[in-house]
Homo-oligomer: A and B are copies of this chain.
Amino acid sequence: MADALERLKQRLIRVTDLQRIARLLSWDQQTMMPSAGSDARADHLATLSRLAHELFIDAETGRLLEELRSLPETEPDSDDGALVRLARRDYDKSVRVPAELRAEMTRAAATARPVWVKAKETSDFATFLPALEENVQLRLRYIECFDDVGEPYDILLDDFEPETTTSAVRNIFEPLKAELIPLIAELRNNDVDDSFLTGDFPVDRQEKLAKGVVSLFGMRPDTWRLDPTVHPFASGAGIDDVRITTNYDPKTMKSLFSTMHEYGHGLYTHQLPRNITRLPTGGPCSLGIHESQSRLWENLVGRSLPFWRFFYPRVQEAFAGQLGGVELERFFAAINRVQPSLIRIKADEVTYGMHVVLRFELEQDIVNGRVDLRELPEIWNERMHEYLGVDVPDDAHGVLQDTHWASGLIGYFPTYLLGTVMSVQIWERLTADVQDLEDQIERGEFAALREWLSEYVHSLGRKFSPQDTLRRATGSTIDSKPYLGYLREKYGAGGVAA
């Protein structure tokens, strides 16, 4: 069995290496590649993906897993036991999907993306509809590959948030929705002045601040880089090769918040378990857990009063023309202003959740055939009015705003809100464990925070399911109450940001 284990590992190391290499190629494509290089890049990414897939679903993988079948039961918590359990799960899923369907899904997503870009530019949903229909049809065929289905949407969700069911997500989102809609209605007519957050924010100073905040939060030197891109993201080729990006808008300072968000993703990947870094168990647990880390640094640290007590003088100095006369309290209220808006990625902490709930509901309707895709814009606009009280002027600011569906990614959106909810559960537990955390943050000290996250979340890698990981870290599986409590305390009557 030791021999089978070693051979399985050698095989999985190759697969993991190819996947990491593909990540670097994607990063390069979005940051460095001359634009005419895109055709060759598509070829190279397709070759890596096919090779990794073939290596993984090879019959030899199945044979080795069969030989190691008992390991996850005899030692469920060990690195090896977790590896075999995870590989078995991934393998059983992968072998069910015919190579042709997989190729068709990849091709359809690649074809749909530029169609979506153009449709969004011209705000013309009709031109995107055929591509969307094809992607949806392919997802339905994908679902059909699995016969042990509870709800069809479970299959798609599982690719992004493993071992999490649609009904479990509904159980989290329903009470949130019931509380958020009235809370938003109550908070929407505030008279918080945030006019000084728009104006003159020189890009070179934003860049210095962005790099400053990553250094302050304490990524190990020489292990990361930060580059500008249109859409911020976090990537990298390994634990000590973390690459995050941000977007500098000369009229606002929002790059700082997106940098803190991506730092959270980056720190997670930087603190993943070193000893199993080339194995699938050494990767991040799920998109939800990933998002819990980015939201924690962006919101629970980056929109908190203790942080700004420390950091505001630096920002004031950098943007003296804009913020020189604005005292901390006004600044803090402005960056936390609740204001229902059209675009998810620009939403504040309170309204953000409803953007995700809307997409989660629509995706289930799509997958269950309860909606005619032609009517999506109309339904979208109605729900936006119902949930957030905003009127959608055109599809570019409505149903066409996100790239996910164009890339065939259905089942991805819920992880944004799951991560946000889990971030507060993690925060509650860590503030209980690190009792003077607020004081530390107010002094610009983040070592204890990083170390707690490393020990209780990051170092678990992908050894356990997302909910098992959360339970090991906090003592509880996912629960919306801490998040709602946090919003009420921060934004409700008498709250710090009220």
- Which residues of A line the B interface, CB within 8 A? 13-14, 17-18, 20-21, 24-25, 28, 32-37, 39-41, 43-44, 47-48, 51, 220, 222-225, 237-242, 277-278
Contact = CB atoms under 8 A, between A and B. Distances in A.
Contacts of A224: 34
B47 A17 contact: yes
A466 B289 CA distance: 56
Contacts of A39: 238, 240
A52 to B, nearest CB: 10
Residue of A17, A40, A223 with most partner-chain B CB within 10 A: A40
Residue of A18, A36, A242 with most partner-chain B CB within 10 A: A36
Given A222-B34, A223-B34, A225-B34, A240 B14 contact: no
A284 to B, nearest CB: 16
15 contacts: A14-B47, A17-B44, A20-B44, A21-B25, A21-B44, A24-B25, A24-B28, A24-B44, A34-B242, A36-B222, A40-B238, A40-B239, A40-B241, A40-B277, A41-B238
A346 B35 CA distance: 34
Contacts of A36: 220, 222-223, 240-241
Contacts of A24: 25, 28, 44
A312 B21 CA distance: 44
A242 B238 CA distance: 25
Contacts of A34: 222-225, 240-242
Contacts of A21: 21, 25, 44, 47-48
Copies in the complex: 2
The 8 closest A-B pairs by CB, nearest first: A37-B241, A40-B238, A36-B240, A17-B47, A36-B223, A35-B222, A36-B222, A34-B223
Contacts of A40: 20, 237-241, 277
Contact of A240 (B37, B44, B220): B37
A152 to B, nearest CB: 35
Contacts of A278: 43
A378 to B, nearest CB: 40
A222 B36 CA distance: 6
B48 A238 contact: no
Contacts of A43: 17, 278
A220 B34 CA distance: 11
Contacts of A32: 32, 225
A14 B47 CA distance: 6
A277 B37 CA distance: 13
Given A20-B40, A24-B25, A32-B225, 15 more contacts: A14-B47, A14-B51, A17-B44, A17-B47, A18-B51, A21-B44, A24-B28, A34-B240, A37-B223, A37-B240, A39-B238, A40-B238, A40-B239, A40-B240, A40-B241
Nearest to A238: B40
A140 to B, nearest CB: 31
Contacts of A240: 34, 36-37, 39-40
A40 B51 CA distance: 20
A50 to B, nearest CB: 8
Contacts of A48: 17, 21
A400 B21 CA distance: 34
Nearest to A223: B36
Contact of A51 (B37, B41, B51, B223): B51
Nearest to A33: B241
Nearest to A239: B40
Contact of A237 (B13, B41, B51, B241): B41
A43 B21 CA distance: 10
Nearest to A13: B47
A337 to B, nearest CB: 36
Nearest to A15: B47
Contacts of A33: 237, 241
A18 B36 CA distance: 20
Contacts of A225: 32, 34
A14 B52 CA distance: 12
A238 B25 contact: no
B37 A237 contact: yes
Nearest to A277: B40
A362 to B, nearest CB: 38
Contacts of A20: 40, 44
A197 B16 CA distance: 51
A111 B237 CA distance: 23
Residue of A32, A37, A224, A277 with most partner-chain B CB within 10 A: A37
A407 to B, nearest CB: 22
A193 to B, nearest CB: 41
Contacts of A17: 43-44, 47-48
